[in-house]
Amino acid sequence: MKYLATLSFSFAALAVHAQGAPIKIGEINSYSAIPQFTQPYKQGWQLAVEEVNAAGGLLGRKVEVIARDDAGKPEEALRHAVELTSREKVDVLAGGFLSHIGLALADHAQKNKQLFVASEPLTDAIVWSKGNRYTFRLRPSTYMQAAMLVEEAAKLPAKRWATIAPNYEYGQSAVASFKQLLKAKRPDVEFVSEQWPAQGKIDAGSTLTATMAAKPEAIFNVTFGADLAKLVREGNQRNVFPKTPVVSLLSGEPEYLDVLKDETPKGWIVTGYPWDQLDNQEHASFAANYYKRWGENPKVGSVVGYATMQSIFAGIRKAGSVDSEKLVKAMRGLKFSTPFGPAQYRAIDQQSTMGAYVGKLDVRGRKGTMVEWRYADGKDYQPTDAYVKTLRPAEAMK
């Protein structure tokens, strides 16, 4: 009897321990390859985790994030995903910055039937042609941001357009969406030049020489990071900017304006984040807490990291479980909060409705900033269900 009592006590102790085990989220990102974005991103999700744990965690359990650096390489991302899934036994996978890495992680999620919340990859393939039931995407897609910019681009008198974009899936997808959407609004436009520099290796001089040889009346730019800085510097020296109107994806984000400083090209139409000019309650609270925790102001990466975790937390609460199948059902149509305001994961393609800010670039106090901006709610720039059904695999919508 004594033995049975001891055994019973041991099983009870194990049960309590199991109930108290942390909820594990495996996070994979290009921390060493793109630190200007991923470091603020990490600080954003760390803040969200600290807040939820201070409030008692989820389902009576603490949340633990196990982060890995993919170094900007798909093979590294997959290696970490396998380790996190098999050895660490994480409940959810999250992260991804570069589009081809996001697609690799999405494929891993499908094969392992594990929820993956793609925080940053902007490729449309991740929710459309290569979408699967286990992958959800937070940031507004290339299609959505292109649609936001086309709304302004169509107002320009320009008929002859050139494009400059990195030669990989993200750049290709962005250009394809912009061309399709602009031609739908302005059948009179033509695209006279396409330049495809390798990501991180742009020769800004030759790229601009080839672009301007086609005599464009406006340019659609998709370069970012160090490539954007090189392109802007070369364009300023040649007086291409601001003489030639430019519509540019992401260029209004603090990550890039902080680098451009007083070289910021005035008048560019961009998507971005005028953090210092927002006064909505959700953002004010987030920005204050972020500054208190990290001693610096938030960037887009900060918002994405924070909102990614907030959406995962909301999904777990709704599901009442970390079982992947239950989470998928809970996440479809899920409403959650972000520093930009309320958002939702569309059931049909598992794309978030989180939006972006659209405005123009200017220089104030020797620093780049956004002016004449507005918030473009993502739900207003997504394609119809009928259009999505022509692109997304039928099995992904089951």
Q: Would you say 140 and 356 are in contact if contact means Cβ atoms under 8 Å apart? A: yes
pLDDT at 397 over 90: no
Q: What is the mean pLDDT of residues 69-85?
A: 97
Q: What is the mean pLDDT of residues 130-143?
A: 96
For residue 61, the 8-state DSSP code is: B
Q: What is the mean pLDDT of residues 56-66?
A: 98
Q: What is the mean pLDDT of residues 89-93?
A: 98
Question: What local confidence, expressed as pLDDT, does residue 169 receive?
Answer: 86
pLDDT band at 398 (very low <50, low <70, confident <90, very high): confident
pLDDT at 228 over 90: yes
Instruction: Count other Cβ atoms within 10 Å, centred on residue 198.
Output: 11
Higher-confidence residue: 7 or 173?
173
Question: What local confidence, expressed as pLDDT, does residue 18 receive?
Answer: 44
| Among 246, 190, 243, 191, CA closest to 220 | 246
Q: What is the mean pLDDT of residues 278-284?
A: 93
Question: What local confidence, expressed as pLDDT, does residue 12 receive?
Answer: 37
pLDDT at 262 over 80: yes
pLDDT at 349 over 50: yes
Question: What local confidence, expressed as pLDDT, does residue 15 receive?
Answer: 39
Angle (nearest 5°) at CA 122 between 109 and 49: 65
pLDDT at 187 over 70: yes
pLDDT at 3 over 70: no
Q: How many percent of the chain have pLDDT more than 70? A: 95
Where are the domain boundaries for CATH 3.40.50.2300 in the chain?
7-141+279-355, 143-277+356-381
CA pair distance 1, 12, nearest whole angstrom: 16
| Secondary structure, 3-state, 319-373 | HCCCCHHHHHHHHCCCEEEECCEEEEECCCCCEECCCEEEEEEEEECCEEEEEEE
Q: What is the mean pLDDT of residues 158-187?
A: 96
Q: Which fold has domain 143-277+356-381?
A: Rossmann fold (3.40.50)
Q: What is the mean pLDDT of residues 257-279?
A: 96
pLDDT at 127 over 90: yes
Sign of CA dihedral 175, 180, 182, 186: positive
Q: What is the mean pLDDT of residues 378-387?
A: 94
The CATH number corresponding to 7-141+279-355 among 3.30.2130.10, 3.30.70.270, 3.40.50.300, 3.40.50.2300 equals 3.40.50.2300
pLDDT at 133 over 70: yes
* Residue burial 273-310, b: 16+ Cβ < 10 Å; e: rest: bbbeebeeeebeebbebbeeebeeebbbbbbbbbbbbb
Question: What local confidence, expressed as pLDDT, does residue 5 receive?
Answer: 41
pLDDT at 84 over 60: yes
| 4-19 pLDDT per residue, tens | 444 443 443 343 334 5
Question: What local confidence, expressed as pLDDT, does residue 9 receive?
Answer: 39
Q: How many percent of the chain have pLDDT more than 90? A: 90
